[in-house]
Structure formats: structure tokens, C-alpha cells
Amino acid sequence: MKLAEFDVWARAGLESVEAALQAWVPADAPAGLGLAMRYGVLDGGKRLRPLLVLAASQAVHGLPEAALRAACAVELIHAYSLVHDDMPCMDNDVLRRGKPTVHVQFGEAQAMLAGDAMQALAFEVLTPVDSAQGGVPPSLQARLCSLLARSAGHAGMAGGQAIDLASIGKPLGEHALRDMHHRKTGALLQASVLMGAACGEVGAAQWAALSDYGDALGLAFQVVDDILDVTQASATLGKTAGKDLDNNKPTYVTVLGLDAARRHAIELRDKAQAALARSGLQEAAWLGLLADKVVERDS
Amino acid sequence: MKLAEFDVWARAGLESVEAALQAWVPADAPAGLGLAMRYGVLDGGKRLRPLLVLAASQAVHGLPEAALRAACAVELIHAYSLVHDDMPCMDNDVLRRGKPTVHVQFGEAQAMLAGDAMQALAFEVLTPVDSAQGGVPPSLQARLCSLLARSAGHAGMAGGQAIDLASIGKPLGEHALRDMHHRKTGALLQASVLMGAACGEVGAAQWAALSDYGDALGLAFQVVDDILDVTQASATLGKTAGKDLDNNKPTYVTVLGLDAARRHAIELRDKAQAALARSGLQEAAWLGLLADKVVERDS
């Protein structure tokens, strides 16, 4: 029952995100740049980050227009990071979301520019020029930009990728692995929750609880990602399976072993749920279900 | 006299920008990322964009803290674009600001990540978390993010680079060349002026005049860049000279010829000065001198 309701809510939310991205990622950007950007972000992915933004915003009765913009902005950042991450100088991957990667389809230079332009577009989306039309108070625009920039930059996603890069072929302890993932995947997932929360009114204790929820969920997501990388086929994942092993990268599975990694994912989910309960938010059911889904997913 | 005064002002302004960048571009970002970012942006370049921000802000009695942040943010965007532009899949250049380029020094993957993190950092710098400490009103933070994102993205710099990429080896008319440079270099130079102006109070007519000034100055800068590329040695430029010709790229010199390009640069400077006069701003002397310097520079 609850799950069916969630599905209806999630479908409606993602339809609005998809429509907004269709409208905001410009097909007519010069010299094919827009086509490469659209290829990189439209019609693909689980859209977990936008769902987290929308669910968190709903839990705090956030401004819908702001939440929609935040949802699109985090997805643009996530999608740009995949475009750059797949390039030959990084992971050199040819398959993503079941399609050839952007650089395979459009060339390396265009892929790099498309990623760069997608990052800029995320901040454009958060700062509508005509605030009468946008309906997002400027102070909220600034807050959302601040949260997004910090999660995407050196202290967050880009920093995590630098550690990832440096760790290839090196033994990494659980602590160092956790630090890497806190930044690489965790920061943007946590920011998704907090950007959604920023769209409404939340007290300091609720903010801290949602921050803990996002933190645990972000790590759980990565642990499951590492598990799926060794247990699932490429066709199911829509991306190249087993590539962490092939690239000799440390993962939760190589560090903890498969069974302990599975137990750890469950622990982290429980931690996320406990944080959510601590928030005292009455309408946080979708956030709770999202934590379940992150751990139970098979792709 | 005026020129000596300008030099004193510019030196003081750039010292504050350099000190702020030293403080804000983190040496301790993980796995060498911070070192690559610092290498890419510190101690180099003419810092024309920061000077435009500071001069425009001064002309409108702008908030100094906001202008300093805007100056650093535009320079971070400019520097990241150079890091990416120099990579093998783009211009494949080995010399920049008299030093080996970032990817030569740190590897391609780190260079890409450093550029990505520098773009994010630009928006971090514009949105200080502790607004009591930052002293920049949130609405101004949002306005600055909006101006910067739009000048850096698909409609601005990144879009211009896509046109540049697509134009290699193709004949380009003056109109198409102008459109490319409006975006590739012009947008960020114009945004520098407007971000500085946004730090104070300006009416619509003044805003339009400053926008025209930035537009003409941006094109003048590129025309002169094209001239210097064929007339100066690499050692003077601190980057590889003659590379547009080598790369078979259309330039103002190839399209107009050297003499006509020189005349065009003067015309654009006069246009910038006329726009400045139209603004009616009493303290715009430094903006006027910067327009002169853009055209008279030899590197």
C-alpha cells in the first residue's frame, strides 16, 4: 500500500524533473554542445538524487519550485561527473546508462565541454533571473548554491575522485575507503537531502538529523554499489560491471568481504532510519522508503 | 600621473585578490588535488578579469567584500577554462603563464578534476556560509552566482569553446567569428564588469552602458589576442605563440588581415570608452584605463 503510494509520488516527481531538464538543458547550444549535454543527462539513471531532494522538501513542506530546481541541479552535477569520470584519462568507460558514453558518442573534447557546461547549468538553474517567474527567494537561491558547490568541489565529490584516482592498485583501509566515499558519492547524496530540507523551515536539530540520515544513506549507497559491481552483469547495471576489480580499485567488497559488506549496508540503512526517526518529521515516509530502496536495489 | 595612480590601485587590488586566492584555494585538498588547483590559478596571468570586477565595483561604490569574492570567482572560472583548454583532447598545449601546463605537471586526470573543482570553488567563494563573517547579502550572492554561471556555461564560455572546436580548419566569416568570441572570451569579461557593478547600486541605463562597455572590451581583448598570437614570441606571451595558425583556427588576423585587425581593436576600444562616457559614472577612470591597456598590451 505504502509502496504503491510511493511509486505514484515518485513517478509524478520524476516526470516533473524530466520535463524541467528537457526545458532547461538547451538543445540549441552551439556546435552540438547542447546535444552532448542532453545526451549526458536526459532519459537515464535512477534519479536517486532528485528523489531525495523532493522527498526531503516534502517532509519539511518546502517550496515546490525551489525543490524542483534543486532536484535538477543535483542531477546535472551528478551527470556531469559521470561524463568526466568515463573519459579515457579517468575510468575510460564506454557504457553508461545502457548507452555509449558521451565521449564515445561525441568525442573527448565535446564530452569535457559538455560536463563543464552541465556544472555551470546547475548553478544557472538554481538562480533564475526573473525571480517573479522563478518564485525562489534570492536568499534560498544563495543557500542552495552554497550547499551544491561545497558538495561538488574539492571537499566533496571532486576531492573524493582525486582520492579514488590516487588509490588505484593501493591497499586502502576501511577508514580511508570510507573517507573517499564520504566525499566521492556521499557528499552529493547528503547535499540532495539538505538542499531539499533548505527549501522549507527546519530547526537545527532536524537539520542535524537529516544530515546524519543523508550521510548514512550516502555510504549505504556506495557499499551496495560495490556489491553490485561484483554480483551483477553489465546489462542489469547499464554500465560496465566488475570494473573496480579490473581497475584494481579498493572497494567495500575487497576490504570487508562480500558478506560483511552486505551486513554493513543493512547497518547503514538502520542508521539512516534511526536518524530520520530522531528528526521527528511527521511526513518523512518517502525518505524512509528511499533508504530501504538504496539497500534493496539490484541495479 | 593618472597612470601612476592606477598602478598603485591595481597593485593593491591584485595583492588582495592574490591573498584571498591563497587563502581560499586549499593546499590540503585530498590526494594532490589542491596542489593542482593552486598551480592552475596562483601566481600567474594578467588578472584582467579581477581588475575589471574591482574597477567596476569601485565605480559604483560597491561592497568591497563582495567585489573581492567576485574577482576571485571570475579568475577561478578563467583559470579552470585554461586548464581544460590546454588538455590533449582540446588544444594540447604544454606551456601556460610561462610554466608547464597543469596536465603536463600533474597528469590529465588530475588536471580535469582540478578544473572541475575550480569551477565549483568559484561558486563556493561567492556564497560564504557564515554571512556574518562574509558580509555579502544573500541576494547579492545569488545575483553574482547567476551572472557567473550564465557567462561560464553553454550560452557563454563553454558554448564559445564548442564553436571554436567545431571551426578548426573551416573558413569562418567575421560574423561567425564575432559570435564565437562574444561567447568564448567576451562573456566572462563582460560578466566581470557586471559582477563588479552588481556589488553597488546602478540604474538600468548605467547597467546597459556598462554591459556595452564590457561587450566592446571583450571583443577588443580577443582581437588583440589574435594579433599578439602572430606578432609576439612565446617567451613574451608566456604561452605558445602562433598556435592558432598551427591549429588552422580562424582568427581576426586571418579573417580581416593584420592591419584591419589593428584598426578594429582601436574602434572597439573607442566604443568601450563611449559606452563608459554614456554611463555617466563619475569614478570610472580605472575602467577607461583598462580599456586602453587591453588594446595597448604586448603580452
Residue-level pLDDT at B131:
55
Residue-level pLDDT at A71:
98
The residues near A290 (Cβ < 8 Å, ≥ 6 apart) are: A48, A51, A52, A55, A217
Residue-level pLDDT at A60:
97
Cross-chain residue pair A31–B163, CB shorter than 8 Å = yes
Separation CA B94–CA B85 (nearest Å): 11
Average pLDDT for A269-294: 96
Of A33, A84, A107, the CB nearest to B116: A84
Residue-level pLDDT at B132:
57
Cross-chain residue pair A150–B110, CB shorter than 8 Å = no
Smallest CA–CA separation between B234 and chain A, in Å? 25
Q: Find out whether A89 and B109 touch, Cβ atoms under 8 Å.
A: yes
Residue-level pLDDT at A68:
98
Cross-chain residue pair A142–B146, CB shorter than 8 Å = no
Nearest Cα residue to A243 out of A253, A180, B116 = A253
Separation CA A71–CA A65 (nearest Å): 10
Of A116, A128, A154, the CB nearest to B26: A154
Average pLDDT for A56-72: 97
Separation CA B61–CA B109 (nearest Å): 42
CA angle at A254 for the pair A248 and A259, rounded to the nearest 5°: 155
Residues of B in contact with A81 (CB under 8 A): 116
Of B120, B146, B154, the CB nearest to A121: B154
Chains A, B: CB pairs < 8 Å = 194
Rounded to 5 degrees, φ, ψ at B200 are -125, -160
Smallest CA–CA separation between B35 and chain A, in Å? 11
Residue-level pLDDT at B133:
56
Task: Name the amino acid, one letter, at A224.
Answer: V
CATH topology of domain B2-296: Farnesyl Diphosphate Synthase (1.10.600)
Residue of B nearest to A88 (CA): B109
Residue of B nearest to A168 (CA): B31
Per residue in B42-78, pLDDT (tens digit) is 977 889 999 999 999 999 999 999 999 999 999 999 9
Report the Cα A199 to chain-centroid distance in Å. 18
Q: Find out whether B172 and B253 touch, Cβ atoms under 8 Å.
A: no
Smallest CA–CA separation between B97 and chain A, in Å? 22
The domain locations on chain A are 2-296
Residues of A in contact with B34 (CB under 8 A): 154
Mutate to test the interface with B, among A119, A125, A139 (most CBs of B within 10 A): A119
Rounded to 5 degrees, φ, ψ at B60 are -115, 15
Separation CA B249–CA A85 (nearest Å): 29
Judge whether residue A97 has pLDDT over 60.
yes
Judge whether residue A182 has pLDDT over 90.
yes
As for the ipTM of the complex, it is 0.96
Cross-chain residue pair A142–B127, CB shorter than 8 Å = yes
Extract the C-alpha cell encoding A28: 540549441
All residue ranges of chain B with pLDDT < 70 are: 1, 131-134, 237, 245
Of B30, B124, B138, the CB nearest to A159: B30
Cross-chain residue pair A154–B110, CB shorter than 8 Å = no
State what percent of residues in chain A have pLDDT above 70: 97
Smallest CA–CA separation between A107 and chain B, in Å? 9
Average pLDDT for A75-101: 95
In angstroms, what is the C-alpha Rg of chain B? 18
